[in-house]
Chain A
Amino acid sequence: MNQALPNSFRSGPDERGHFGIYGGRFVAETLMPLILDLEKAYAQAKVDPAFRAEMDGHLKHYVGRPSALYFAERLTEHFGGAKIYFKREDLNHTGAHKVNNVLGQIMLAKRMGKPRVIAETGAGMHGVATATMCAKFGLECVVFMGAVDVERQQPNVLRMKALGAEVRPVSSGAHTLKDAMNEALRDWVTNVHDTFYCIGTVAGPHPYPMMVRDFQAVIGQEVREQIMQAEGRLPDSLVACIGGGSNAMGLFHPFLDDPGVAIYGVEAAGHGLDKLHAASIAGGKPGVLHGNRTYLLMDPDGQIEEAHSISAGLDYPGVGPEHSWLHDVGRVKFLSATDTEALDAFKLCCRLEGIIPALEPSHALAKVADLAPKLPKDHLMVVNMSGRGDKDLASVAEHLGGQF
Chain B
Amino acid sequence: MTTRIDTRFADLAHEGRPAFVTFVMAGDPDLDTSLQILKALPAAGADVIEIGMPFTDPMADGPAIQAAGLRALKAGTTLKKTLALVRDFRTTDNVTPIVLMGYYNPIYIYGVDAFLADAKQAGVDGLIIVDLPPEEDEELCLPAMKAGLNFIRLATPTTDEKRLPAVLANTSGFVYYVSITGITGSASADASAVGAAVQRIKRHTSLPVCVGFGIRTPEAAQAIAAQANGAVVGSALIDAVKASLDAEGRATKATVGAVADLVASLAAGVRGAKQAAE
A binds B: yes
Known: A28-B59, A28-B60, A301-B79. A33 touches B108 (CB 8 A): no
Which residues of B sit under 8 angstroms from A192, Cβ to Cβ?
Answer: 158, 181
A29 lies within 8 A of B106 (CB): no
A300 lies within 8 A of B105 (CB): no
Which residues of A sit under 8 angstroms from B80, Cβ to Cβ?
Answer: 301
B109 lies within 8 A of A300 (CB): yes
Give the residue of B131, B156, B183 whose beta carbon is less than 8 angstroms from that of A26.
B131
Give the residue of A24, A33, A182, A190 whose beta carbon is less than 8 angstroms from that of B136.
A24
A301 lies within 8 A of B59 (CB): no
Which residues of B sit under 8 angstroms from A289, Cβ to Cβ?
Answer: 57, 105
Which residues of A sit under 8 angstroms from B160, Cβ to Cβ?
Answer: 33
A34 lies within 8 A of B158 (CB): yes
Main secondary structure of the interface of B (DSSP, over half): loop
Known: A302-B105, A304-B105. A30 touches B158 (CB 8 A): yes
B136 lies within 8 A of A26 (CB): yes
Q: How many A residues are at the interface, by size bracket?
A: 35 or more
The smallest C-beta distance from A146 to any residue of chain B, in angstroms, reads 13
In the assembly, what is the distance between CA of A192 and CA of B157, in Å?
A: 10
Most chain-B Cβ atoms within 10 A of its Cβ — which of A16, A182, A191?
Answer: A182
A186 lies within 8 A of B104 (CB): no
B183 lies within 8 A of A303 (CB): no
**Of all chain A residues, which has the CB nearest B108?**
A288
A33 lies within 8 A of B59 (CB): no
User: What does the 1/0 interface line of B33-63 toward A look like (CB < 8 Å)?
Assistant: 0000000000000000000000111111111
The smallest C-beta distance from A338 to any residue of chain B, in angstroms, reads 25
In the assembly, what is the distance between CA of A304 and CA of B167, in Å?
A: 28
User: What does the 1/0 interface line of A175-190 toward B look like (CB < 8 Å)?
Assistant: 0001000100110011
Residues of A within 8 A of B (CB): 16, 24-34, 172-173, 178, 182, 185-186, 189-193, 287-291, 293, 296, 298, 300-304
Give me 27 A-to-B residue pairs in the complex whose CB atoms sit less than 8 angstroms apart, sorted by A's number.
A16-B135, A24-B135, A25-B135, A25-B136, A27-B131, A28-B60, A28-B131, A28-B133, A29-B154, A29-B155, A30-B181, A32-B133, A33-B163, A34-B158, A173-B57, A186-B59, A189-B60, A189-B183, A192-B181, A287-B109, A288-B108, A301-B79, A301-B110, A302-B107, A302-B110, A303-B106, A304-B57
